[in-house]
Structure 1
């Protein structure tokens, strides 16, 4: 497993700290049009994901690995359907811990 350049798990609020870097986030699917996905982040904010290539149909939850282009905009590298049964609340807590006091545990 490659650990030299990990992609941090983030919610929308944390994205601004990672502009120009690769991150991962799970979003609730809201709409998809012309290669652009709009989703709701774990902290209930809208995130726009450009250059999405994902198998249809898109499930209710999607993990996106990509580069942060702006405060709430990602350029997708990998999109993975995460199914229709995913709880964003614990994921939000995980994002908070992974970018604060327990950051060393998330290589």
Structure 2
């Protein structure tokens, strides 16, 4: 994979990143059908993740997905990381806001 910046986003920001590679943390609502999974982002938005069959299925309640934004409600997965069953989504949402506004320059590729 390319070594490029992958911004952390929530559902509100997805429209700004259509066609781009991002990372999003979701609280999984359901296991999905194996091809897709539905999750709730840090701002309580609902997104669909189009699963990559080559990746391991999520095993915890909170999962970070890296992938490409297909449309404002859908991400095509490249990879995922289990973040456990206890995670402060409100705090993460504050971080996402800072990373995409006041402190965006700190998280952009040089």
Could you tell me the TM-score, scaled by structure 1's length?
0.90
**What residue is the counterpart of 2:47 in the other structure?**
47
5+ residue gaps, structure 2, are none
C-alpha change, 1:30 and 1:92, in structure 2 (3 Å) is same
Say if 1:37 and 1:52, in contact at 8 Å, map to a contact too.
no
SS across alignment from 1:83: coil
- Superposed counterparts of 1:1-107, under 5 Å: 5-31=4-30, 32-53=32-53, 54-56=55-57, 58-107=59-108
Aligned residues: 106
2: CA distance, partners of 1:16 / 1:7: 15
5+ residue gaps, structure 1, are none
Deviations 1:62-94 (A, max 9, x none): 000000000011000001111101110011111
Deviations 1:17-63 (A, max 9, x none): 00000000100011121320100000001110002445356210000
2: CA distance, partners of 1:19 / 1:95: 17
Root-mean-square deviation (CA, aligned residues, Å) is 1.9
C-alpha change, 1:105 and 1:42, in structure 2 (3 Å) is same
SS across alignment from 2:77: strand
SS across alignment from 2:15: helix
